[in-house]
Amino acid sequence: MTSTTIATTEAGRVRGVAKEGVATYLGIPYAAAPVGELRFAAPQPVPPWAGVREAVDPGPTAPQRGANRCAGIDMFPITGAEWRRGDDFLTLNVWAPMEGTGHPVMVYVHGGGLTLGTKDAAVYDGRNFARDGAVAVNINYRLGVEGFLAIPDAPTNLGLRDMLAALHWVQANIEAFGGDPSNVTVFGESGGGIAVACLLSSPLSTGLFARAIVQSGHGSAVYPVAIAHRLTRKIAELLDVPATVAGFRSAPPEAALAALGRASRPGTVDLRDDTGFVPGFGLTVINPVFGDDVLPLHPLDALEDGAGQEVDLLIGTTEDEFNFTTAPLRAVLAPTWLARLILRRLTPEADELMHAYREQDRRARGGVVMSRILGDLAFRGPAREYAGAHRGRTFFYEFDWDSPASGGRLGAAHGTDIAFVFDTLPSVTGKRGILGTNPPQRLATRIHGTWLEFAADGRIPWGEYDAHHRRVHRLAADTTIDEAPILASTMSSTRATARP
C-alpha cells in the first residue's frame, strides 16, 4: 500500500511517498540552481518555499552527454546518463525507514568520470539500504566544464564544493528523515570514489562525516592548477571566448559539452607533469585540482600530514578494473608493440612495465598485458597507495566475482560491484546487463550487509590495512590475503609535482 509522507527541511516542507516501510523523497534541492550569475560560482543556499513541495520526481540532471551502450552492454541502469534539462539540478534523493530515529546515514556520490551520470540511475536505488535500517541519500553535482574546469577568476573544484554543500544539508536536515547527523558515511564509485577520496583529505570536510567508502577510486587523479589551466585555455580556444568566468558564461552548456568532447580526444591537450606522467591516467581530461582551499595539498600529502585520520576508511577495487574498456578490443590490441605505444602516452615507464608484466605471464598477449597494467596503474595501485597514506582505521577489499557478460571477457571489471553494494541485482541483470543473467544474490546480500555494518558503527570482518600488513579481503572468495605490492604502483610516481 502506498501513502504520502511529509518532512520539514530548513527551506520548507517536502512531500514524499511511503511504501513497504520506506519513505522516498526525490529531487529535494540542497543548493540554489547554478545558472545565470551562479553559473561557475560556489553553491548558494536554497531559497525557501511556502507550503509543501512535492518530492516525487527526481528532476533535471547536470548538463552531460550520455554514454549508455558499450560492448553490447546496456549502461543506462548504471550511468543514467542523459541530460534531463532544467535549472534546478543541485538536488538529492532520500530513502528513509518509516519507523525510528537515529539511523545511520549513507550519502552516495555517483560515478561517471566527473563528466556524466546522475543520482537517479536504477542501480543506485537506495530503498534497500532504508529497508535494512539506514537513511540513504544520493546527490547530483556539477559535472565536466560546469563543475571541474579550473577557471582563473572562478572558484575551483565546484563539483566538490557542491558535494560539501550537500553534506552540510545532511547535517542540518537529516534528523527530519530519521537520520543521525553524527553518524554519516559518504561513499562513491569511480569518479564518485575519486571525489570521496578528495573530500576525505579536504580541510573543508571536517565534521561532515564519520566514515568514507572509496570504490574504484583514489586521491591521485588530481592536477596541479597550472596543468589544469592548459585544459581551460584549450576549451576557451575551442569556444572562441576568453578564459574567464564572463567568457565561459557566454557559452551555452551545449557548446561547452561539445568543446570538452573535442578537448578529450587523445593528444589534444598535454596534461603530463614534469616527469612525463599523466595524473588523470589517460581516462579523462577532467579531474579535481589541488592548491586551493578545498584541496590545499595533493590528497596523499594531506593524508600523510594527518588529514582525515578521525574518519574510518573502507577502500577497494575490482580485480579486472580495465577489462570494461579493453575486453572488446583485445583482438585489435593483441600486438605487444601497439599496446606499448598506447602506454607510452600515459607513462614514461611503459617499456619497463610491459617487460615486468610479460615476465609474470609470458603467454599473455599484448592487449591482455596492457589491460592488467592500465588497471593497476589507474586504479589498483593508487588505491593501495591511498590506503597506505591514511593515518586512521583503514580496510581494503577487492571485488573478485567474474561477470559472464561480453562473451565471458568482462570478468570483475570496473562497475561490476555496484549492484552488489546496493543489493539491486535485477537492475543490471539480463542478456545486455553488465552482470549477465544469473548473478549470485547470496554475494549481494553479504556485500550489502558489510557496507551497512561499516556505516552503522565501523565494523569490518577482516583486519586493517597498513604499511606492515597489506590485508586485502577478496569479497567473492570471502578470504583475506597479505598482498604483495602492485607492480605498477612501485614503478610509477603519482605525485611527482605533489606540493604546489
Q: Is 190 a catalytic residue?
A: yes
Record the cell numbers describing residue 200, joined without a space.
576525505
The rounded Cα 5 to chain-centroid distance in angstroms is 31
- Select which of 168, 390, 414, 473 is catalytic: 414
DSSP codes of every residue in 36-103? GGGTTS---PPPP-SSEEE-BS-----S-----EETTEE-HHHH-------S---EEEEEEESS-S-E
Record the cell numbers describing residue 249, joined without a space.
558564461
C-alpha dihedral (223, 229, 234, 237), degrees to nearest 10: 160
- Select which of 321, 349, 385, 398 is catalytic: 321
DSSP codes of every residue in 349-384? THHHHHHHHHHH-TT--HHHHHHHHHHIIIIIHHHH
Rounded CA separation 134/7 (Å): 17
* Three-class SS state of 4: strand
Of the candidates 283, 315, 304, 264, the one whose C-alpha atom is nearest the C-alpha of residue 498 is 304
Rounded CA separation 352/480 (Å): 30
CA geometry: angle at 180 spanning 176 and 184, to 5°?
120
Give CA separation, 35 vs 66, 197, 413, 471, in Å: 21, 28, 37, 47
**Residue 463 backbone class (left: φ over 0; alpha: ψ -120 to 50; beta: rest):** beta
Q: Is 414 a catalytic residue?
A: yes
Considering only CA atoms, give the Rg of the chain: 22
Q: Is 390 a catalytic residue?
A: no
- Select which of 189, 190, 371, 398 is catalytic: 190
Task: Kindly list the catalytic residues.
Answer: 190, 321, 414
